[in-house]
Amino acid sequence: MGRELVMTREGAQSFFGRLIEEGPVMGPRERISQPGFVMFDWLDSAGQLRLKYTTTTIPPKKAFFPPRQPLFEFESSQPPTITAVQEATAFTLVGVHPCDLAALEMLDDAYAQEPAEACWPAARARARVIGVDCLPDEYCFCFGFGTCYGREGADLFLTPIGRGYLVEVLTEAGGGMLRLSDVEDATDADREQAAAFRRAKSERMTASIDASPAEFADILEEDDFGELWREVASRCYSCGSCNTTCPTCFCFDIKDEFDLGLTGGRRIRSWDSCQLQEFALVAGGHNFRRIRWQRVRHRWHRKFLYLYRDFGRPYCTGCGRCSRACTADINIVDVSNEIIGRARGRA
Amino acid sequence: MSREEPIPRFGHKPQVAFFDFACCEGCQLSVLQLEERLLEILGHVDVVTWREAMTEQSTEYDIAFCEGSVTTEEDVERIKRIREQADVLVTLGSCASGGCHNELKNQWSMDEVRRVVYGDAADTISTIPSRPVTAVVDADYRVFGCPVSLPEFMTVVNAMLTGQSHQPPNQPVCVECKLNDYVCVYEMGKVCLGPVTRCGCNAICTAYGDPCQGCRGLMDAANIPAMLKALKREQAHAIMCAVVQRHELSDDEIAAKLRIYNNWPEFDLKEAQPDDD
Ligand code: SF4
Ligand code: SF4
Ligand code: SF4
Ligand code: SF4
Ligand code: SF4
């Protein structure tokens, strides 16, 4: 862990104000038309920033990969032209919780697999990241997943304490940002308050998956849960919200949009979801996960088995967004524990 | 940008006619609201018949835009004639494309419907169960929505002019709702049909915090039993519980909600299948 400093509440206000003056800043802010609901969005002033929030519907990965992203524009002139849509502006992403920091690192790994994806690392290279610690709600289960106290990928990390924030300086870029702020050295009392905050975090966490990632992967590999998948599927809409809200989901679809009369257009990629019926539809009309339970099973296998084997960690941070978003009450912790319970009952 | 040479598919600048059947004509009105973009389309086609927008009429046309539902025997003959004349038939709006509130009347006998609506004149009026245009003739393109979504209308016109097919989207509204990062209206205490409704409107209702009423009809493989359970509180997490407790929907109310736009073909809640195999 790097240097520890303290930013007072007022100090933080002026720091974020200066940061916003300096360049684009995305962070959690209250929605204008729906007060009380926080979303990641570009900030106009420090007053909009809500560093104390439980979670957001859409994770902060949208800063690097917008849900709908133009890749290039083309004109069908002679000769045809293609112009890449390239964002070049550096920006700062603030207010990222530890689970979401972990998700960014998972996506770094996923997109680096050959053939490597180019847009994600380019966007990541443009950004500085400021993390902030949080307290869980009944859907969070990051504790058992080791993402609860992660700092990976953050340049600065803030922990709420009585007089403001304990600031961990994790990178040179993070240290550089602090020239915009008035910081003080942390006292033992500040450190103790930060430690108390972290203890409260784990103590308040009520949800957890009852097996280690390794054991859960083994259980899923043995998969003999046809009945359970069908039960879950009978309730599932295949609406995809559990994927479109997930910080570690990385699938996308690519489509061309044409201007009238085929004079030109643009290529757009947008977030996709393996729960949608057409996800696994291929040329010729074959759909290799046409039936709903196959898609439900795929989500669990993907997150807790295949990617666990590929990358050595489950592709789930325990953020609970999928359970919160599911209007059919399919809760990732409940279903996972049901699987684990049935597997152990059988053994 | 307008294109001077004829559209390849037709070999000449195609002639377009708009026709309406039983409906509110809101879809045509929406198309007129395209304004500048409409002028762009007019660079590629000649409109020869459009009662809502012009006085001239023609019996010769290549493309027919048909709006509304078929509710009389005369309508049946008329839409068949249009289909014979037109090379390309596009249905405009849910009334024509898959079913809309016109089909609500199909719950009663036609005699009863005539009596309620026309009173003493009932015997002089004929009517048949209401049905979308697509239940009588094949459509080459369908634009859903009540009224149509204009971006989708433009996409379909574009596909048509360039001779490509267009598959109506077959994902639920939730996808567009989430990709726009809107707050789920269940969290605001409202009951939404988005999880079973065909998207393509870019979740325009939930954008404003209003629930989806299902105006684009059910998507294929919509899980109706799940929707019923959700609305009847048999399955619901904390957020949903708060909502459904407030609404206390009875079976009839749930059915009525789902029925507003989904009465064609006969909509039977009990027959609905949970799985999509
Ligand atoms: S959010 Fe729920 S209903 Fe929708 S696809 Fe996921 S599990 Fe199924
Ligand atoms: S699977 Fe669910 S809990 Fe896990 S990271 Fe994705 S949204 Fe969060
Ligand atoms: S679909 Fe709706 S807006 Fe369009 S004509 Fe029918 S009732 Fe009117
Ligand atoms: S508001 Fe409606 S459409 Fe949007 S996510 Fe919620 S249920 Fe789906
Ligand atoms: S959100 Fe629902 S009701 Fe609103 S336009 Fe879309 S499909 Fe129709």
The DSSP line for B235-248 is S--HHHHHHHHHH-
Nearest residue, CB atoms, B237 vs list A239, A270, A329: A329
User: What is the sign, positive or negative, of the torsion defined by CA atoms of B102, B108, B112, B116?
Assistant: negative
pLDDT at B242 over 70: no
Which of A203, A228, A261 is a domain's end point? Answer: A203
Nearest residue, CB atoms, A239 vs list B187, B195, B275: B195
Residue A79 lies in a domain: no
Atom of ligand 2 nearest to the CA of A246: 7
B contact test, residue of A239, A272, A332 with most B CBs within 10 A: A239
A149 and A41 in a common domain: yes
Best residue among B171, B175, B181, B185 to mutate for probing ligand 4, ranked by most atoms within 8 Å of CB: B185
Look at residues A258, A236, A261 and name the one whose alpha carbon lies nearest to residue A323. A236
Sequence-distant contacts of B4-13: CB under 8 A, at least 24 apart: B7/A261, B7/B44, B7/B45, B7/B161, B7/B162, B7/B163, B8/B162, B8/B163, B9/B160, B9/B161, B9/B162, B9/B163, B10/B62, B10/B87, B13/B44, B13/B45, B13/B46
d(CA A186, CA A166): 7
Among protein residues, the one with the nearest Cα to ligand 1's atom 2 is A326
Average pLDDT, stretch A27-42? 92
DSSP B6: P
Residue B196 in contact with ligand 5 by CB distance below 6 A: no
pTM metric for this prediction: 0.93
Strands ordered across the beta sheet of A127-132: A38-42, A25-30, A91-96, A127-132, A156-161, A164-169, A3-8, A184-185
A197 and A217 in a common domain: no
Nearest residue, CB atoms, A331 vs list B187, B188, B237: B237
A334 or B123, greater pLDDT:
A334
Atom of ligand 2 nearest to the CA of A139: 3
Which chain A residues touch B175 with a CB distance below 8 Å?
Answer: 239-241, 244, 273, 276
Which of A153, A178, A203 is a domain's end point? Answer: A203
Residue A223 banded pLDDT, cuts 50, 70, 90: confident
Best residue among A231, A232, A326, A332 to mutate for probing ligand 1, ranked by most atoms within 8 Å of CB: A326
Residue A258 banded pLDDT, cuts 50, 70, 90: confident
- What pLDDT shows up at residue A263? 83
A326 and A293 in a common domain: yes
A contact test, residue of B157, B223, B224, B273 with most A CBs within 10 A: B223
CB-based contact A261 B44, cutoff 8 Å:
yes
How many domains, in total, are found in chain A? Answer: 2
* HSE of A224, CA atoms in CB hemisphere, 13 A: 10
pLDDT at A252 over 50: yes
- A75-108 pLDDT tens trace: 988 888 999 988 889 999 999 999 999 999 999 9
Which chain A residues touch B209 with a CB distance below 8 Å?
Answer: 33-34
Interface check A288 vs B, CB under 8 A: no
Distance B95 CA to ligand 3 centre (A): 6
d(CA A72, CA A268): 8
Torsion of CA A42, A48, A50, A56, to 10 degrees: -40
Please give the helix or strand (H or E) that residue B264 lies within, else none: none
d(CA A295, CA B184): 23
A189 and A165 in a common domain: yes
What percent of chain A is predicted at pLDDT more than 90? 82
A233 and A187 in a common domain: no
Distance B147 CA to ligand 3 centre (A): 5
Domain interval for residue A117: 3-68+88-203
Residue A105 lies in a domain: yes
In DSSP notation, B121-173 reads GGGG------EEGGGTS--SEEE-BTTB-HHHHHHHHHHHHTT---PPP-SBH
Interface check A98 vs B, CB under 8 A: no
A255 and A322 in a common domain: yes
Which chain B residues touch A39 with a CB distance below 8 Å?
Answer: 181
Interface check B96 vs A, CB under 8 A: no
Domains of chain B: 15-161 (3.40.50.700), 173-259 (no CATH)
- The ligand with the least distance to the CA atom of B91 is 3
Distance B215 CA to ligand 5 centre (A): 5
**ipTM given for this complex:** 0.94
A263 and A192 in a common domain: no
CB-based contact B178 A259, cutoff 8 Å:
no
A170 and A300 in a common domain: no
Which of A183, A203, A223 is a domain's end point? Answer: A203
Q: By three-state DSSP, how is residue A153 classified?
A: coil
pLDDT at B241 over 60: no
Which chain B residues touch A233 with a CB distance below 8 Å?
Answer: 274-275
Tokens matching residue B45 = 């086609």
pLDDT at B245 over 60: no
Q: Are A40 and A28 in contact (CB under 8 A)?
A: yes
- What pLDDT shows up at residue B140? 95
- What pLDDT shows up at residue B5? 42
Distance A33 CA to ligand 1 centre (A): 26
Show the CA angle centred on residue B121, arms to residues B118 and B127, nearest 5°.
60
A288 or A108, greater pLDDT:
A108
- The ligand with the least distance to the CA atom of A209 is 2
- B190-199 pLDDT tens trace: 888 999 999 9
CA B41 to chain centre: 22
A140 and A21 in a common domain: yes
A219 and A189 in a common domain: no
